[in-house]
A and B are shown apart, each in its own frame.
Chain A
Amino acid sequence: MSDPPLLEVEELIVEIPTRRGTLRPVDGVSFTIGRGEILGVVGESGAGKSITGAAIIGLLERPIRIGGGRVTLGGTRLDTLGEPELRRVRGARIGTIFQDPSTSLNPLKRVGDQLAETALAHLDISRGEARDRALRALVDVGIPAAAERLDAWPHEFSGGMRQRVVIALALIGEPELVIADEPTTALDVSVQAQILALLRRLCTERGVGVMLVTHDMGVIAETTDRVAVLYAGRVAEVGPTRRVLTEALHPYTRGLMGSTPDASPERDARERLAQIPGSMPGLTALPPGCAFHPRCPEAMTRCATDRPHPAVRGDTRVWCWLHPPDEPPAERRP
């Protein structure tokens, strides 16, 4: 990638201090997102994908805190910002879309007012201009009869329409980055496709980088440019989506692909789904060395004692002793 990345996450650590010791739901996660690029962050429950997103926006609830690493957005370090500056960055430079629209939309405010207020808070414009932008935002996300809908309340919209409003709200402040956490999981599949296509179109058109957190591999395949696969708070591999999904380097990624059923008519329905034995360890029971090694069909002796160092293979970065690094891990980064 010739342009410098929009977002750089380097060795991010998130900690939860407990009476019995410090837990690390995110333990050395690294990836980048370019302008206009959609990075998928995929993993099963407990892998740390949502907490990573929360850490980037600075929405970790005490006592959860960033315990190490760096988060840099367009040259600005986010992990060291105080709360007032973080608040400014959140609306102006980072937009957020959550799974449940009711966490983003105030049920007691009309939709047009929420959009206009957000625009006013982050852009140097007049009230009239803000109202115009609110209308345009609704049109851009495909709300029919947008002029009338400006004065509607959130509960007057259907689920899919509400999520479109949330997208409008996330983009109206003209952010550089959008973090979308399971934005379509609660929606019917017919609406899901529309919402994802909308998100993709709007963000690539405007050069907005997107971090799309999901557990759904099909969504990853169809919507993202690159993907980071998370396991037990660590990255297994990160690289171009097609490459990672079809020629996975990490055994966990391969296992995940093999155990995912597919609706495609190409797939032979009788072929047995692969199974990964056991389940992802909880934070209090993380094994030493590589977190995946107890379940890994290709585990070696080293995997049980040493955590893998990252290695670069073409456009992909992988953390696995099957692919040891040729050089010290510090410099290169896809």
Chain B
Amino acid sequence: MENLLQQLVNGVAWGSIYALVALGYTMVYGVLKLINFAHGEVYMVGAMTGYYTARALGFAQEPSGLGLAVVLLAAMATCAALGATIERVAYRPLRHAPRLAPLITAIGVSLLLQNAGQLLLGADPKFFPPLVASREALRFGALAVSNIQLTVLATAVVLMAGLELVVMRTRVGRAMRAVAQDADAAALMGVPVDRIIQLTFLLGSALAGAAGILVGLSNPKIDPLMGLMPGLKAFVAAVLGGIGSIPGAMLGGLLLGVVETLVAGYLSSTYRDAIAFVILIAILLYRPSGLFGAAQQEKV
């Protein structure tokens, strides 16, 4: 029983990182109907930015709340800029091209970032500086929850709440929802579609950057190839929750984290990565709109 509870705790903490990355996917897919394959690499850039910023500003030696805040902001800003650039350079020219072209371009950008990362930053794994001292925060018998796991969960929740606020309660958010629903109609209503799409990328990428910092805190080994698998799995999480739905992405991420952890713990870690895809296929077959998505009508 203790084992199970521990696995659940692990799964939720791990899943909150998927949730943050999934948000970026779901938002971009909502407005562009595009799977942004390069999103996983944006997450990697976030972690790397955090690493170099912490070292440059001298936060690497000891844990500090200020250090965490600064590094988080730096990573989010850098990733926002990166995301917007990718959109402008690689996706916008292909807005009206056949469906496969932007998908291929996204893959190209992903490969480019991975290999450039290896070349410029070195292929060796780096140790993310301990900006938060690792301590046991809670203990119930054998069940151990570290303060880092709590920090990760708390930060993720705050960011997600913030995003939900922006999307549901502001004009800009309304514009984003309009573009996601019907870009042409939104344009006719005077919504600056291009700028809204850029903003979507900006926000989604900033969240991915934050995820990169959080994963650096809880699993402090980072390297240029770290974004590939988590990126794909975060997409699965987005689909699980209902692509285009923000609460869906959050729930999907947490759920995926828990399932993955349980499978790795009770069945075999061999299937840890595979289970995400099994879930994807099952969801797409039996409930393609995901947990929270609206059922899509196929227009003839």
Q: Do A and B bind each other?
A: no
- B interface residues (Cβ-Cβ under 8 A, vs A): none
- A interface residues (Cβ-Cβ under 8 A, vs B): none
